[in-house]
Amino acid sequence: MFTSILSTTILAFVATIATQAAAQVKSKAVEPAAAKSRVLTESDLVRIQKSLASTAHLQADFEMTRTSQYISKGISSRGKAHFEKPNRFIWDLQSSVKPTKKYFDGKDLWIHYYTQKTADLVKPKGEMYRLISQISDAVLSPKNLLDRFSLDSEKSKLSGSTATIRLVPKKKSEEFKSVVLTIKTDLKYVKSIKLVSQEASKKTKEISTLISFSKVLRTAKKTKMFSFNPPKGTRIRKLN
């Protein structure tokens, strides 16, 4: 009797081990294969460029992190953005000490300090205007960017539906030393943009601006929204 019980116990134990092993094999069999990474080519870049260019209007939440020689960890801020062809944008910086909303309709650039009930009409120039214009080109009109930058194929790759594209300037006079785009090719939008003003070296720290997008929505044109209409009681300053 003891031998019978022992045999039954051993058989049950072996069956349990076999079941667990089979389950592990099955689990590994259904695991999706990791996306293979390969070098991104010029033809890939042309295809991605055409895909992004098909968008007329894009809106998204953003997080912007800026690093400098003195602040290695960077300063982050958040907000919402709208971009529309050919060169219109609304840049709503919500988490800074002085929240601002920038409107550019292709002609006039307004900076609305809405918590202070003040709005400035300024010339479309300056560091922040150039930065936002570069971002607008990257997300909607990459051809404008590629007219001034070349593909660094050694540091660009395509992995599944994610493309990492590093661009370097064609001219030394270019403000940014490199631009790195992370693009979701299946959803036709730019996930992040890194604009590098100074490359890192043994003697210098990297100076860059990283913009990451979320809640991206591609829509039809909404041209009228880019023209700023000052709310009642807003103090207007024309600084052109």
DSSP class of residue 34 equals: P
CATH architecture of the domain with range 37-238? Clam (2.50)
Total residues belonging to the chain: 240
Q: Which amino acid is at 16?
A: T
Q: What is d(CA 53, CA 139) in angstroms, rounded to the nearest whole number?
A: 8
Asked whether the predicted pLDDT for residue 211 surpasses 80, the reply is yes
- Residues 196-215, mean pLDDT to the nearest whole number: 85
> In terms of pTM, does the model score above 0.85?
no
Domain ranges of the chain: 37-238
- Using only C-alpha atoms, the chain has a radius of gyration, in whole angstroms, of 26
Output the six-digit token pair for 222.
Answer: 């909404």
Question: Could you report the per-residue pLDDT of 224-238, keeping only the tens digit for each?
Answer: 999 999 999 999 999
Strand ranges (E), 152-202 = 157-159, 162-169, 178-184, 189-198
128 and 111 Cβ atoms separated by less than 8 Å: no
Closest by alpha carbon to 161, among 28, 31, 27, 32? 32
Question: Could you report the per-residue pLDDT of 16-54, keeping only the tens digit for each?
Answer: 555 555 555 554 545 455 568 899 999 999 999 988 888
The predicted pLDDT at position 2 comes to: 44
- For 23, 26, 27, 149, the CA distances from 19, given in Å and listed in that order, are 6, 11, 12, 58
Q: What is d(CA 67, CA 135) in angstroms, rounded to the nearest whole number?
A: 17
